[in-house]
């Protein structure tokens, strides 16, 4: 057994800092690198890609990043764990194998985790009495049945551990909990029992800290952002884990950013509900038992975490089509910048009304003034400029499209001192709404396949 | 004395559907009892009038000197439904740090 393993955060989301994975594998010793690509609505985008081309449906960026880091990973025996497989982990794997073959890389083992995609099984489940009703609102699945774009079960660490045990050097999953990407290696390397709730819970916490990359190491730092060294070259977090369940949160020495109790605390509070019940497929972690101590420069010790048995349900992330939106902006300069922007808004709304266009919502905000803090904002004495931001939402695509044609005319037929229309006519964008549900664990099973190039 | 939360705490916010979560962390251990006493769910709901259209839930994390608030119906529908510039509530954290509290205790800032 290794005396410790270092799991590095490589990507916190699809679109994250592209240089981070290469930095992580080259600026210091690590054993695993995790990369998270899936936000809530990402699967629906990938389903559309797969529909157009059956070989797609995974995060293309993932393949580029793997190409960059794989030679070093093979040299240093660093394993890659990612959910960038989307709705086509096999397609992703095949693309990487193709590239590896071109590079003369032999014997590469890639594991895929499938079974999370239940889009084609929803009707069957409903017939069997497994109802995927909205777990937050209680709405019945029939309300959105025909509009569902994606449906994926959140598997946890088990299938990833399975793939690692079969010798996979890269594990590509579909929907998995972000945290599992980090703690699966710990379970695999240290042989933690699936009943050791406290150890599983500390792994989950480490996963929560790593899952947003630089946001734990000084990025988006509220306490004292000016004190964060060299944000341009921020080092993403690394969880240095020990068999006992002790974990040190750190980063590579020759990188920017910082790791302090404060930076870690802020990330702990990001996107959590009831802290005493952080539910994952493997366990329930109690964030109110977390102990953080600064034990060295850029080293914070994580300990004391208590866990409880997992539930007998998996969470299901579903998305459905729910209308269209379009948003546009115009910039108004002094004098009377705000008054002019308000007048432009009034004129626009009047014209939309005259056109008989129906919208579920029209929203106006004034960027640079109070779009962030609303009534809590303090008005400045002088408004040098303000951005009028106006958006509409409707199930009627043509109405949203028609709205787009009403922005440019305001420049020549509205208040003066206006600019900032270089972006062109705003196009309707599809609303992909989120539908979370629960499914009994025994109704779905992950399938793990490890293939060698 | 009147204090603004920014003086004694830092914060981070995130989103879950149409609910914004805002965590505030006391800058020093001695400030935690103050935020725990005065930053009540009711006070926060009042502070976010016009922004938070649903209820406010509050959870305590004394282990890291923090409170977590869930602001229901505060993101204009959230996700891709919302027309808000800050549809993900990323600036709700600093909005909460603007909150002032009237403190009876003597504290050194």
Full strand arrangement of the beta sheet holding A79-82 = A291-296, A299-303, A247-250, A238-241, A5-11, A32-35, A79-82, A170-173, A109-114, A447-452
Residue A45 in any domain: the answer is yes
Beta bridge partners of A291: A303
Q: Are residues A271 and A251 both part of a single domain?
A: yes
Q: How confident is the model at residue A146 (pLDDT cuts 50, 70, 90)?
A: confident
Q: How confident is the model at residue A145 (pLDDT cuts 50, 70, 90)?
A: confident
Q: DSSP string covering A402-421, please?
A: HHHTTSTHHHHHS-SSEE--
Mean pLDDT, rounded, for A19-42: 96
Cα-based distances in Å from A250 to A27, A183, A209, B47: 13, 16, 11, 37
Residue A210 to residue A215: CA distance in whole angstroms? 9
pLDDT digits (tens, 9 = 90+) for A353-373: 999 999 999 999 999 999 999
Cross-chain CB nearest to A222 (options B12, B59, B64): B12
Contact B85 A136 (CB under 8 A): no
Contact A327 B83 (CB under 8 A): yes
Is residue A202 within 8 A of residue A302, CB to CB? The reply is yes
Find the residue in A nearest to B70 (Cα).
Answer: A273
- For A384-401, give the secondary structure using H, E and C: CEEEEEEEEEECCHHHHH
Q: Are residues A281 and A358 both part of a single domain?
A: no
Among A264, A285, A311, identify where a domain stops: A311
Can you give the C-alpha Rg of chain A in angstroms?
24
Q: Are residues A55 and A196 both part of a single domain?
A: yes
Q: Are residues A307 and A333 both part of a single domain?
A: no
pLDDT digits (tens, 9 = 90+) for B35-68: 999 999 999 999 999 999 999 999 999 999 999 9
Q: According to the model, what pLDDT value does residue B97 have? A: 98
CB-count burial class (<10 Å; 0-12, 13-18, 19+) for A294: middle
Q: Are residues A64 and A12 both part of a single domain?
A: yes
Q: Are residues A303 and A339 both part of a single domain?
A: no
Instruction: Given the cut 0.85, state whether the ipTM is greater than it.
Output: yes
Residue A256 to residue B96: CA distance in whole angstroms? 29
pTM more than 0.80? yes
Among A291, A311, A331, identify where a domain stops: A311
Residue A395 in tokens: 């199930």
Q: How confident is the model at residue A4 (pLDDT cuts 50, 70, 90)?
A: very high
pLDDT digits (tens, 9 = 90+) for A217-238: 999 999 999 999 999 999 999 9
Structural domain count, chain A: 2
Q: According to the model, what pLDDT value does residue A444 have? A: 98
Domain extent for A370: 322-433
Q: What average pLDDT is seen over chain A? A: 97
Peptide bond into A335 cis (omega under 30): yes
Residue A35 in any domain: the answer is yes
pLDDT digits (tens, 9 = 90+) for A85-94: 999 999 999 9
Is residue A99 within 8 A of residue A63, CB to CB? The reply is yes
Tell me the residues of chain A between 413 and 442 that have a Cβ less than 8 Å away from chain B: 429-434, 436
Residue A243 in any domain: the answer is yes
Q: According to the model, what pLDDT value does residue A39 have? A: 87
Is residue A339 within 8 A of residue A232, CB to CB? The reply is no
Residue A359 to residue A394: CA distance in whole angstroms? 5
Q: How confident is the model at residue A422 (pLDDT cuts 50, 70, 90)?
A: confident
Q: Are residues A17 and A83 both part of a single domain?
A: yes
Residue A324 in tokens: 């269209």
Question: Regarding the domain delimited by B2-102, which CATH topology (the fold level of the hierarchy) does it fall under?
Answer: Alpha-Beta Plaits (3.30.70)
Q: Are residues A200 and A55 both part of a single domain?
A: yes
Among A279, A311, A343, identify where a domain stops: A311
Residue A69 in any domain: the answer is yes
Name the 3-class secondary structure at A196. Answer: coil
Contact A222 B48 (CB under 8 A): no
Q: DSSP string covering A61-83, please?
A: HHHHHHHHHHHHHHHHT-EEEE-
The string over A383-414, giving b where at least 16 C-beta atoms fall within 10 Å of a residue's C-beta and e elsewhere, is: bebbbbbbbbbbeeeebbbbbbebbeebeeeb
Residue A443 in any domain: the answer is no
Greatest Cα pair distance in chain A? 74
| pLDDT exceeds cutoff 90 at A172 | yes
Cα-based distances in Å from A60 to A13, A48, A67, A85, A96: 13, 14, 11, 9, 10
Q: How confident is the model at residue B23 (pLDDT cuts 50, 70, 90)?
A: very high
Mutate to test the interface with A, among B4, B10, B12, B22 (most CBs of A within 10 A): B12
Contact A271 B14 (CB under 8 A): yes
Q: According to the model, what pLDDT value does residue A101 have? A: 96
Residue A451 in any domain: the answer is no
| pLDDT exceeds cutoff 90 at A424 | no
pLDDT digits (tens, 9 = 90+) for A386-418: 999 999 999 999 999 999 999 999 999 999 999
Residue B24 in tokens: 């505030």
Q: How confident is the model at residue A40 (pLDDT cuts 50, 70, 90)?
A: confident
Residue A139 in any domain: the answer is no
Is residue B23 within 8 A of residue A270, CB to CB? The reply is yes
Residue A337 in any domain: the answer is yes
Contact B83 A391 (CB under 8 A): yes
Instruction: Please give the backbone phi and psi of residue B67, each rounded to the nearest 5 degrees, phi first.
Output: -130, 140
Residue A452 to residue A169: CA distance in whole angstroms? 10
Is residue A77 within 8 A of residue A185, CB to CB? The reply is no
Residue B25 to residue B10: CA distance in whole angstroms? 5
| Chain A residues inside the 8 Å CB shell of B88 | none
| Chain B residues inside the 8 Å CB shell of A434 | 17, 78-79
Q: According to the model, what pLDDT value does residue A41 have? A: 82
Pick from B53, B101, B99, B93: nearest CA to B76 = B53
Matching residue, tokens 């995130």: B14
Q: Are residues A162 and A264 both part of a single domain?
A: yes
Matching residue, tokens 């010798």: A167
Q: Are residues A110 and A24 both part of a single domain?
A: yes
| Chain A residues inside the 8 Å CB shell of B81 | 322, 325, 393, 431, 433
Q: Are residues A61 and A202 both part of a single domain?
A: yes
First to last CA, chain A: 27
Tell me, what CATH number does A408's domain have?
A: 3.30.70
Q: Are residues A276 and A343 both part of a single domain?
A: no
pLDDT digits (tens, 9 = 90+) for A263-302: 999 999 999 999 999 999 999 999 999 999 999 999 999 9
Mean pLDDT, rounded, for A344-354: 98
Is residue A9 within 8 A of residue A37, CB to CB? The reply is no
Secondary structure tally for chain A: helices H, strands E: 12, 19
| pLDDT exceeds cutoff 80 at A423 | no
Mutate to test the interface with A, among B8, B18, B23, B65 (most CBs of A within 10 A): B23
């Amino acid at each position: 057994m290794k005396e410790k393993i270092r799991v590095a955060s490589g990507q916190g989301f699809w679109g994250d800092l592209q240089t981070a994975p290469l930095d992580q594998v080259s600026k210091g010793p690590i054993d695993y690198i995790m990369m998270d690509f899936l936000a809530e609505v990402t699967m629906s985008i990938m389903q559309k890609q797969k529909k157009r081309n059956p070989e797609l449906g995974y995060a293309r960026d993932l393949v580029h990043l793997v190409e960059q880091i794989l030679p070093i990973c093979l040299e240093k025996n660093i394993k890659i764990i990612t959910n960038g497989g989307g709705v086509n982990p096999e397609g992703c794997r095949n693309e990487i194998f193709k590239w590896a073959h071109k590079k003369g890389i032999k014997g590469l083992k890639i594991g895929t985790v499938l079974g999370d995609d239940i889009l084609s099984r929803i009707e069957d489940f409903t017939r069997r009495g497994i109802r995927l009703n909205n777990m937050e609102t209680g709405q019945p699945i029939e309300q959105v049945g025909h509009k569902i774009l994606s449906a994926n079960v959140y598997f946890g660490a088990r299938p990833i551990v399975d793939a690692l045990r079969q010798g996979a050097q890269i594990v590509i999953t579909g929907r998995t909990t972000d945290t599992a990407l980090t703690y699966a290696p710990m379970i695999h390397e240290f042989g933690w029992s699936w009943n050791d709730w406290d150890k599983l819970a500390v792994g989950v916490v480490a996963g929560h800290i790593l899952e947003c990359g630089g946001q734990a190491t000084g990025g988006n730092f509220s306490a004292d952002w000016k004190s964060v060294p060299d944000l341009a070259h921020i080092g993403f977090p690394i969880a240095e884990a020990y068999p006992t369940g002790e974990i040190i949160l750190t980063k590579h020495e020759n990188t920017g950013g910082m790791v302090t109790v404060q930076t870690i605390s802020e990330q702990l509070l990001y996107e959590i509900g009831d802290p005493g019940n952080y539910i994952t497929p493997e366990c329930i972690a109690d964030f109110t038992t977390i102990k953080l101590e600064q034990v060295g420069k850029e080293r914070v010790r994580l300990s004391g975490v208590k866990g409880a048995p997992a539930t007998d349900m998996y969470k299901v992330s579903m998305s459905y089509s729910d209308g269209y939106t379009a948003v546009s902006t115009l910039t108004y300069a002094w004098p009377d910048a705000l008054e002019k922007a308000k007048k432009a808004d009034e004129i626009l709304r009047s014209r939309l009304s005259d056109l008989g266009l129906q919208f579920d919502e029209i929203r106006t905000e004034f960027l640079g003034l109070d779009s962030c803090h609303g009534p809590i904002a303090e008005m400045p004495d002088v408004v040098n400029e303000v951005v009028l931001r106006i958006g509409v939402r409707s199930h009627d695509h043509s109405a949203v499209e028609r709205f787009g044609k009403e922005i440019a005319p305001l420049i020549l037929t509205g208040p003066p001192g206006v600019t900032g229309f270089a972006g062109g006519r705003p196009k309707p964008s599809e609303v992909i709404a989120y539908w979370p549900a629960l499914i009994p664990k025994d109704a779905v099973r992950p399938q793990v396949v490890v293939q060698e190039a | 004395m009147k204090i603004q939360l920014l003086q004694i705490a830092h914060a981070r916010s995130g989103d879950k559907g149409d609910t914004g979560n805002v965590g505030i962390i006391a800058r020093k251990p001695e400030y935690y009892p103050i935020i725990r006493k005065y930053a009540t769910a009711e006070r926060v709901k009042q502070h976010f009038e016009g922004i938070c259209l649903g209820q406010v839930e509050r959870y305590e994390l004394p282990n890291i000197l923090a409170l977590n608030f869930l602001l229901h119906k505060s993101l204009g529908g959230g996700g891709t439904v919302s027309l808000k510039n800050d549809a993900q509530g990323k600036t709700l954290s600093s909005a909460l740090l603007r909150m002032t509290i009237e403190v009876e205790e003597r504290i050194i800032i």
